[in-house]
Structure 1
Amino acid sequence: MRRGMRWIRVVCAVAVGALLLSGCGLGATPTDTAGTEGVGPVTLVTGQDLTGYLRGRLQAWNAEHPGEKATLIQLPSAADDVRAQMISNLQAKSDRYDVLNLDVVWTAEFAASGWITPLPAGQFPLDKFLKPVVGTAMYQDKLYAVPYVTNAGLLYYRKDILAREHLAPPRTWAELRSMAKTVAPRYGLKGYAGQFSPYEGLTVNYAEAVQSAGGQILTGRRSRPAVDSPADLKALQFLVDGVKEGWIPQEALTFDEEGSRKAFQSGRYLFMRNWPYAYDLAEAKGSEVAGDIGVEALPGPDGPGAASLGGSNLAVSSYSRHQKTARELIQFLTSLDNERQVLLKGSLPPVWAQLYTDPALVRRFPYLPVLRQSILTAQPRPVTPDYDQVSLAVAATVHDAMALRQSPRAAAARLRQELSAIVRSP
């Protein structure tokens, strides 16, 4: 019911937004037929800029391009709301948005719908980027966006506790399970916090377990469900066993990124899976675990696992009147100097490979070498225009299994059936 109502709200927001735009005359197809080479003022639409760094970047652009000024449009922070408002604008063929800051999992949907335009790969320094991130900007072998920031899940741990026990951080599921079950209680701690509430975060955590076990949620070019394969079942069983055995506490089934971060940062957990943003916050003044945090790659069944790629890409609206300027703004924002500021000012992982070995940056962000390796071995979430519905189905079904309302095998069979009804072949 919760999943259905969430989808209904998104569809309604899209429909209402499209009607409003059309009624206001903003939905007319641009009369400028030379939009692909159009030059002039542009807008950059994004989810809420929580750190404020983007305004400074656009101010730098505007100082150099007074006739092609860029204006920042901030949408709500919730990803569903951002996606819904972008879609309502694009379905109305409005030219209000020029450059769109898209979650990496939206690239396929927006490209397949014709809302964003293919980009000339030679115009951007793609060979300087971490290789896996470039794939998130491709759809059917064409470049539809340019990687802007990236992300990969990391394992956070209490290095002070493991040091007392003379233990290295876990590199396998068995080691994580053993330490979470036996070491954590000796220090009055709980075992493992992830993002296990029924939303996109759970889809990511499940995908990481599946990938680490050598499986896939969707397989092949025709995107067939593979969730009942032996590897996928092994991954789901691992998560369910964690709840049954107590080293994944029941309260963790309500955690999103912030919930798990606050629980770990308050000193209640030995281990946490989260994105890199949590590091600076957990090390900040007032944190109960400041100075005691270690970061490692996510564990897998037999060694380091495979994280899910996160981040965002910059794309050009098909309805922009000033697409040449929009492409040049993307060039500016993804240049080496600006990518450095993405990290320094925005605390977001950059896409340029060389920044991960910069000595000054590594001193400031000690997790960079681990993050680099995690990104290089990470995998994208399912590439499909139907990703949003896929994620809703995965999160709801996996949560039922982890809440012990359904066996892993029954949950996998149910999920396969749901995904078969959702996914469109490319």
Structure 2
Amino acid sequence: MLTTFLVAACGGLADSAGPPAADTGGTGPITFAIGRDTTAYLGPLIDRWNRSHPAERVTLLELPEASDEQRAQMVANLQAHSDVYDVLGLDVVWTAEFADAGWIAPLDRSLFPLDKVFPGVAATAIYRDRLWAVPYVTNAGLLYYRSDLLAKEHLKPPRTWAELRDDAMRLGAKYRIGGYAGQFLPYEGLTVNFAEAVQSAGGSILSPDARRVTMDLGPARRALDFLVGGVREGWIPREALSYKEEESRLAFQEGRLLFARNWPPAYGPAAHSRLAGKFAVTRLPGPDGPGSSSLGGVNLAVSAFSKRQKTALDFIRYFTGPEIQRLVLTEGSFPPVWAELYDDPALIKRFPYLPVLKETILSARPRPVTPDYNQVSLVISSAVSGALDLGRPTDETVAELRQQLGEVIQSGG
């Protein structure tokens, strides 16, 4: 599916034969390139390392917020074999591409406690049975909802698309706010929103090895009709067609939406806003019950062109360890990758959504492991955007999308 399983599982702690693991030499100051820190939590965490490693200080290089723009900036740097970046914060779907291109160094699995990590999350760092990165934070889409308004109406959070539609239309009109929004600008976020709708409808987009198009027209049409119908009927505001993660977060947090699909990091800022105590989260709805999220997150990798790979490796070991994993949640509201933290009573008391998030992560579907994922995503987001603009019929869009994906797979991107 943009969806289904990864090619390689995470079994065993010994890498197979192949290129040598990251260079054990090279120490000194390093740079850490990652997407923009919208919750301002990274600086203090990096300061913890810097205080105890004055000769190996880490400088944070914040890249754009949107994943497409982050990737473009990283690729331009790595294609030039630049050593400006030492540690890379990679979207989980980039592992195969960056490994296949020789831009990141393979790692020794025995250095990392991968058994502590959710199995599906650990698998996102593996390509062709080698470890190329280390899971740092995970992600799974959640439905944010105005618990105060639903309580006034004696309603439970919606579990199906029909319930979401009815609540969004009726209460949106009654309280004069938008009904529902996700990430609908044509970029990776829209690909994820469409993939979640397809898999929630029981379908898939690509085979696990990303070599076949498996998108049945029925589930895909049902998924697209759900999104397009929302725009046509008005319970998805047209303004949402320009939303990325931050825009949708602000729209919900500022009280302009009844429901919003977003990642867990949106929870912390909302909990410290005027919306505190007035919202909650639940699993994404589907046609007939709870739906399925796409698995997101960030893995940390060592640039193949770094001249200080030992420091980079040591920093990754520290930054993916138990101390920082807890702080990733408590300071940044990001979902940690260590499974045991989701069962910690103290953390559950402070973050009551953790059980729902754990369930969502375990039921989430990973995106395909393919070096051509970026091209696949561009094709999907472009086609879906055309339908959401109400410029193309859903039947025509789905049929053409299936054909275009086949061309991408056959051509190798």
Number of equivalences: 392
1:125 counterpart residue number: 113
2:228 pairs, out of 237, 240, 247, with: 240
Residue 104 (structure 1) shift: 1.2
2:11 counterpart residue number: none
Change (3 A) 1:78 1:160: closer
Change (3 A) 1:293 1:99: same
Residue 338 (structure 1) shift: 0.9
CA displacement, residues 232-283 of structure 1 (integer Å, 9 cap, x when unaligned): 2221122222223332233322322233223323323221111122222223
Residue 309 (structure 1) shift: 1.5
1:30 counterpart residue number: none
1:394 counterpart residue number: 380
Which residue type is aligned with residue 418 of structure 1? Answer: Q
CA displacement, residues 358-381 of structure 1 (integer Å, 9 cap, x when unaligned): 222223222222111111111122
Which residue type is aligned with residue 396 of structure 2? Answer: A
Which residue type is aligned with residue 191 of structure 2? Answer: T
CA displacement, residues 259-314 of structure 1 (integer Å, 9 cap, x when unaligned): 322332332322111112222222324x3x33210210101122211111121100
2:395 pairs, out of 385, 388, 409, with: 409
* Aligned equivalents of 1:411, 1:393: Cα separation in 2: 11
1:341 counterpart residue number: 327
Residue 98 (structure 2) pairs with residue 105 (structure 1)? no
* Aligned equivalents of 1:105, 1:422: Cα separation in 2: 17
Larger Rg computed on CA atoms: 1
State the secondary structure of the residue aligned to 1:305.
Answer: coil
* Aligned equivalents of 1:420, 1:211: Cα separation in 2: 19
Which residue type is aligned with residue 389 of structure 2? Answer: A
Change (3 A) 1:34 1:136: closer
Change (3 A) 1:78 1:170: closer
Within-5 A mapping of 1:135-284 = 135-284=123-272
Maintained 8 Å contact 2:201/2:222:
yes
Q: Which moved more, 1:202-211 or 1:163-172?
A: 163-172
1:327 counterpart residue number: 313
1:37 counterpart residue number: 24
Q: Which moved more, 1:198-207 or 1:378-387?
A: 378-387
Maintained 8 Å contact 2:267/2:333:
no
* Aligned equivalents of 1:200, 1:178: Cα separation in 2: 28
* Aligned equivalents of 1:88, 1:275: Cα separation in 2: 27
* Aligned equivalents of 1:124, 1:34: Cα separation in 2: 13
Residue 408 (structure 1) shift: 1.3
1:93 counterpart residue number: 81
**Bigger RCO (CA 8 Å, 6+ sep):** 2
Residue 67 (structure 1) shift: 4.6
Maintained 8 Å contact 2:67/2:188:
no
Residue 352 (structure 2) pairs with residue 366 (structure 1)? yes
Maintained 8 Å contact 1:39/1:68:
no
* Aligned equivalents of 2:350, 2:116: Cα separation in 1: 22
Maintained 8 Å contact 2:210/2:368:
no
Change (3 A) 1:34 1:301: closer
Which residue type is aligned with residue 49 of structure 1? Answer: D
* Aligned equivalents of 1:391, 1:377: Cα separation in 2: 22
Q: Which moved more, 1:63-72 or 1:39-48?
A: 63-72
* Aligned equivalents of 2:56, 2:243: Cα separation in 1: 43
* Aligned equivalents of 1:38, 1:196: Cα separation in 2: 45
State the secondary structure of the residue aligned to 1:291.
Answer: coil
What is the TM-score normalised by the length of structure 2? 0.87
* Aligned equivalents of 1:170, 1:259: Cα separation in 2: 23
What is the TM-score normalised by the length of structure 1? 0.85
Residue 220 (structure 1) shift: 4.1
Maintained 8 Å contact 2:180/2:235:
yes
* Aligned equivalents of 1:259, 1:48: Cα separation in 2: 14
State the secondary structure of the residue aligned to 1:37.
Answer: coil
CA displacement, residues 36-93 of structure 1 (integer Å, 9 cap, x when unaligned): 1214123322233344433333333344444544333333444334322322222222
Q: Percent identity?
A: 57
CA displacement, residues 305-341 of structure 1 (integer Å, 9 cap, x when unaligned): 1111121100112223333332222111000111111
* Aligned equivalents of 1:69, 1:251: Cα separation in 2: 43
* Aligned equivalents of 1:102, 1:302: Cα separation in 2: 34
Residue 222 (structure 1) shift: 4.4
* Aligned equivalents of 1:384, 1:279: Cα separation in 2: 31
For structure 1, the 5+ residue unaligned runs are 1-32
2:62 counterpart residue number: 74
1:27 counterpart residue number: none
CA displacement, residues 164-208 of structure 1 (integer Å, 9 cap, x when unaligned): 222211112222122223343233333212222222221111111
Maintained 8 Å contact 2:22/2:107:
no
* Aligned equivalents of 2:139, 2:259: Cα separation in 1: 19
